[in-house]
Amino acid sequence: MNDTDETVLTVDAKPWPIGIDIARTAVIVVDMQNDFGTKSGIFDRAGIDISMIQAAIAPTARVVAAGREAGMKVIYLKMAFRSDLSDAGPPDSPNATRHMHFGAGKAVLAPNGEQSRLLIRDTWNTDIVDALKPQAGDVVIYKHRFSGFYETELDATLKQLGTKYLIVTGCTTSVCVESTIRDAMFRDYSCVLLADCAAEPIGCELPRSNHEASLLVIQTLFGWVSESAAFMRALAASHVAA
């Protein structure tokens, strides 16, 4: 603890280690919801491989639990539209057409036997995956575009909390995660993406995947890239110092 009552973690990251003040740090969980990470979600129904998203759940759960215990605010973002799709954009807009192509709004039967709809608010499909369920005190914010900042209360919430540093997790790396990090950087937040807590099905079969390409551009221009183990080591070191 220093003279200003800050607890600063030094997290090993690329392009260089970054010091973050615990009291001014939030953990962001991007779109880790049934539609993307669970069987019978919109991705799985479209034949998209979700194994890499499922693999990111366990390290994300450890990060969320550790961050929460350290006093960091945990903020969940959920990609979802209103029931009438009024916030999806005009029918011929890229946002609407891309999501409708995957069946957004379609009525389906959820694995629990309930009636549900793909990518629609307040349904099983847009619930956070079971292993990452929000707890009391966490913040849950709906978004209707790739970026978590577009027409949402995310920026106002972070400012109210006095947040400067964001530990970012979630899916998908090159779409909603990168879009959110870009917008965060434009608003002067310092973002640390934990690579093993993020996943991207698009381009996973390429010599350099979209996931890897996003890691490179983020660590080069938009923030920092680290791993869950490095974050946990930094937290452990701060406990020893305290």
- Which H/E stretch holds residue 106? none
Q: Which residue has the tokens 């869950």?
A: 228
* Selected catalytic residue, list 73, 78, 143, 183: 143
DSSP assignment letter at 124: G
Let me know the angle formed at the C-alpha of 45 by 79 and 41, rounded to the nearest 5 degrees.
40
Amino acid 51 reads S
Q: What does each C-alpha distance from 189 to 67, 133, 173 come to in angstroms?
A: 18, 25, 18
159 in active site:
no
* Selected catalytic residue, list 176, 183, 191, 197: 176
CB-based contact 72:162 (threshold 8 Å): no
21 in active site:
no
* DSSP class per residue in 131-174: GG---TT-EEEEESSSSTTTTSSHHHHHHHHT--EEEEEEE-II
164 in active site:
no
Pairwise CA distance, residues 22 & 241, whole Å: 14
* Strand pairing class (107-109; 115-117): antiparallel
Positions marked active-site: 31, 143, 176
